[in-house]
Amino acid sequence: MTHLDTHEKLKILSADSQYDLACACGTSDHDRRHRGLEGRWLYPVTLANGGQSIMLKTLMSNACRNDCKYCPLRSQTNIRRCSLAPEETAGIFMNYLRRMTLYGLFLSSGVTNSPDHTMAQLNETAWLLRRKHDYRGYIHLKVLPGASDAAIEETLSLASAVSINIETPGAGHFAKLSQRKDYLADIIRPLKLISRLTARGERHARVRTTTQFIVGASDEKDSEIVNYLFGLYNRLHLNRVYFSAYQPGLGTSDIPGEKQSLQNPGSRLMREHRLYQVDFLVRQYGFKAADFHFDQDNNLPLDKDPKQIWAERHPGFFPINVNRADRETLLRVPGIGPRTVKTILQRRQLHKLGDTSDLGLKGKRRKQAEPFICFAS
């Protein structure tokens, strides 16, 4: 669509980037994306100091040679296709940066021509920002499936963060979503290479690494995703794992996700939510694989959160004495999170805690915690 100007193309490409969540963007109502100038999508970013900023997120092209059956941008669909050149992309970002404060840029693309041809476009954009415009801020670059080792190494030399979507837990599920991509060669190989090149002590150790599952497009079970989750953190040392619920109607009619969405239309977003809860419990609470309970279908129960289920299945662990328990023990109590634990540890240095009002808990969280705690001396 060569008749479109740069701003018109950016509107289309920024909107089409919404399907990739493997970046530091919001996952709750108060920090969702919003439209900025010229209709471009801006994504909230929570900073290390607790503050927030925003990030521009876009594709360089929504044309794609791949056949991912869950994706509305796959080669077989009839949508408005357009592309941005590296000079255009770098220029519009710097223009935007001069007009307002931005945390950085998330840049991805459909696969045009070949993975390495498209990677060259992404890398050239980052190179222009770094070298021509002297931009020293945050750049998140997508590593495309099938990218060569050389292309990935160049990406790591330019980016603050990189990601490649794992999509499914295993080749069997992946094969139901694409016939053009090879799971081991195109997905797992780049993930392992990125892990090696960003390991502690390596040249690119500063680069943040993430990935994303497309939940429910294939017929994977939650237990399989959780098993892969631990491998991604413990063996490949990724910084974050994201989950994107398959959106019915965007894919082909022959993938498992379409049938499942008709059978249980209300479950897909709650399933995504439960997986994010598991991820948080692993990263922030120290939960292990054996701590999670799955139903008879090997999925996470949708009616209760995983932490509540663990507490109910371990009655001998409770009640917890909040005046004596250590941080790890307190984190096992439903309704009590890292901030509340910090409050408990600080306040009990000053005086004995007498009831839940001393914990700073209110409403639902207070009711959750009460059956599992005591205040003995």
Cα atoms in the 13 Å half-sphere on the side-chain side of 3? 1
Provide the pairing of β-strand 138-142 with 320-321: unpaired
pLDDT tens, position by position, 155-179: 999 999 999 999 999 999 999 999 9
pTM (2 d.p.): 0.89
**Residue 278 contacts residue 299 (beta carbons within 8 Å):** no
**Residue 52 contacts residue 78 (beta carbons within 8 Å):** no
CATH 3.20.20.70 domain residues, the chain? 6-263
CA-nearest of 257, 242, 368 to 305 is 368
Question: What span, in angstroms and rounded, lies between the C-alpha atoms of 237 and 42?
Answer: 28
pLDDT tens, position by position, 17-66: 877 765 544 434 333 444 444 444 455 554 444 455 678 888 999 999 99
Torsion of CA 250, 254, 258, 259, to 10 degrees: 170
CATH 1.10.150 domain residues, the chain? 314-374
pLDDT at 356: 87
Question: What span, in angstroms and rounded, lies between the C-alpha atoms of 285 and 306?
Answer: 12
CATH 3.20.20.70 holds for 6-263: yes
Q: Give Cα separations from 52 to 1, 30, 45, 94, 252 (angstroms).
A: 36, 11, 5, 20, 38
Q: Which fold has domain 314-374?
A: DNA polymerase; domain 1 (1.10.150)
Kindly tell me the burial class for residue 184, based on how many C-beta atoms sit within 10 Å of its own C-beta (0-12, 13-18, 19 or more): exposed
For residue 176, what are the contacts with CB-CB under 8 A and spacing of at least 6?
69, 218, 219, 255, 256
Provide the residue-wise pLDDT of the chain in tens; the chain has 377 residues: 457 888 888 888 888 887 776 554 443 433 344 444 444 445 555 444 445 567 888 899 999 999 999 999 999 888 889 999 999 999 989 988 888 778 899 999 999 999 999 999 999 999 999 999 999 999 999 999 999 999 999 999 999 999 999 999 999 999 999 999 999 999 999 999 999 999 999 999 999 999 999 999 999 999 999 999 999 999 999 999 999 999 888 888 889 988 877 677 678 889 999 999 999 999 999 999 999 999 999 999 999 999 999 999 999 999 999 999 999 999 999 999 999 999 999 999 999 999 888 898 889 999 999 999 999 86
